[in-house]
Structure 1
Amino acid sequence: MPPPDTMYCSQQINIPPELPDILKNFTKAAIRTQPKDLLVWSAAYFTALSNGEALPVKDRLELNVATQKTDTGLTPGLLKTLHRQLGSTETCSMEDVLQKWKGLCLPLEQMQVILSLGNFSSDIVWMDFFALGCSALGGTLVSSLKIACEILTEDEEGGAARIPFSTFVQVYTYLAHLDGDLTQSQIDHFLKSLQSDVDRQEGMIQVSNFYLARK
């Protein structure tokens, strides 16, 4: 007599009704994110999904990255994804950052450089790590701030890229101190030069404001 769990026909296989939508969403996410290692990223994706966490998924496909044959490392889209995963709290553990970083298949050497520059310990102030990620992408202080605004803004793509001035001050001050070429007096003077524009925009600042102020 055959065991009770023997399948006789396809009609006996129970397919959960939510499975097609799960697979459809997963496929779209993989296409947008273009992970270097699909298996590693898939494990991170379904772990986050089962835990109700932010998914390791980019908002849109970055065409300039998708056409590269070699690993390009961190991109604005991936940094935005990391911020969505880790930016809900002021600090996060080294283990959490490493886990999310690996889940996006980013090179560990690049993370080690950021950790070294920030002299981080077991607990990481997320916005400091985020600022260094922007610096790795931008190269210069102004370009880094532009990237930070474009990632953090809630404006539509191509818009003013406004962010709260308090957030801008946090990112700018941290990077300016690391830069080492600016004195505290110069930092304070630059921030003061933005205040009238910030007041007109009810505590917000946009990319064009600080670009004009720096020129």
Structure 2
Amino acid sequence: MSVENWTIHTGVAVSIPREDIDTDQILPKQFMKLIDKKGFGKHLFYDWRYLDLEGKIPNPDFILNQEGFTNASVLIAGKNFGCGSSREHAPWALSDFGFRAILAPSFADIFSINSAKNGIALVRLKEEEIHFLGEWVSKNSGSQIRINLETSEVQAGEQTFHFHLDSASVNRIRNGWDDIDITLKHSKEIFEFEQIRKNEKSFLEVYW
């Protein structure tokens, strides 16, 4: 299991009501030097979270630095979240910070592919539903939202919203599978193929 798996998540919600939040805003390019998935959370939304280049002076106006939201794990955002370059480091930063679900009207395609294998559920809701949730969170600082992958429901207070998430993404998140985990599920078939290939065509054979 490569990432934290979950089926039902209840966590503090935070709203960043901006459209077209791209991957360079999620994780600026200067922090893409590491290859391990851990350690990126401190750089999440770096240009918005800090007033200085060294990341030592938190921006008090940015929501993740405000009381009640520093441990948020459910993000509410505007449409086309995750647009821009295809860097998988962006979901790494979101996951490492602690986000398990992002609620928005729409998401960029490649970002959608990268998110599920990092344990992040992308929940598409109608724009009016996102607006309601953003207002609800603003009025109820520190309140929690519940996401259930089994019933495809989002619950905030007395309100419940329904969503659709493809079965492949649900299976990845519920089991904590990334691409390597899914490949290893076929390790027996891979081994058998390697043995047949080795017997049929030796790698030491010289081809002219």
TM-score scaled by structure 2?
A: 0.26
- Structure of greater Rg: 1
Which structure is higher in strand share? 2
* Higher helix fraction (1 or 2): 1
TM-score (norm 1): 0.26
